[in-house]
Amino acid sequence: MALLNVTPYDKHYYETVLKPFLPKRFIDCHTHVWLEEFLTGGKKRSGSQSWPGLVAKDNSVEDLLETNRLLFPDNEVTSVLYGDPVLTMDLARNNAYVARKAEQLNFPALYLSHPNQTPEELEEAVLSNPVFRGIKVYLQFAPSYIPDDEIRIYDFLPKEHLALCNKHGWVAQLHIARSGRLGDPVNYHQILEIEENYPDMQLILAHLGRAYADEDVGNALDYLKDMKKTMWDFTANTNEHVIRRVLETYGSDHLMYGSDFPIFRMKARRVVENAVYINEVPKGEFPHEALAGDKHMREIDYPEAEKITFFIYEEMNACREACRRLGLGKDDVEKIFFSNAARVFGVV
Q: Give the tens place of pLDDT for each residue, 142-161.
A: 999 999 999 999 999 999 99
Please tell me the predicted confidence (pLDDT) of residue 47. Answer: 56
Three-state DSSP state, 227: coil
How far apart, in whole angstroms, are the C-alpha atoms of residue 231 and residue 93? Answer: 29
Mean per-residue pLDDT, 317-346: 98
Burial class (CB in 10 A: 0-12, 13-18, 19+), 106: exposed
pLDDT exceeds cutoff 60 at 74: yes
Lowest mean pLDDT among 1-15, 34-48, 53-67: 34-48
Residues of the chain with CATH 3.20.20.140: 23-265+312-345
Residue percentage of the chain with pLDDT more than 70: 98
Q: Which residue has the higher pLDDT, 34 or 287?
A: 34
Phi, psi of 127 (to 5 degrees): -80, -5
Cβ-Cβ contacts under 8 Å for 279 (sequence gap 6 or more)? 51, 268, 269, 270, 296, 297, 298, 311
Cis peptide before 8 (omega within 30 of 0): no
Largest CA distance in the chain: 57
CATH number, domain 23-265+312-345, options 3.20.20.140, 2.40.110.10, 3.30.560.10, 3.30.365.10: 3.20.20.140
Cα-trace Rg, the chain: 19
Please choose, from the candidates 229, 143, 224, 149, the residue with its C-alpha nearest in 3D space to the C-alpha of residue 191: 224
How far apart, in whole angstroms, are the C-alpha atoms of residue 337 and residue 184? Answer: 28
Mean per-residue pLDDT, 208-220: 98
Cis peptide before 262 (omega within 30 of 0): yes
Q: In what order do the strands lie in the sheet with 109-112?
A: 25-32, 76-82, 109-112, 132-137, 171-174, 202-205, 231-233, 255-256
> Measuring CA to CA, how many Å separate 31 from each of 83, 150, 206, 266?
8, 27, 11, 14
pTM: 0.96
Please choose, from the candidates 259, 249, 89, 104, the residue with its C-alpha nearest in 3D space to the C-alpha of residue 182: 249
How far apart, in whole angstroms, are the C-alpha atoms of residue 167 and residue 161? Answer: 10
Please tell me the predicted confidence (pLDDT) of residue 268. Answer: 97
Please tell me the predicted confidence (pLDDT) of residue 51. Answer: 77
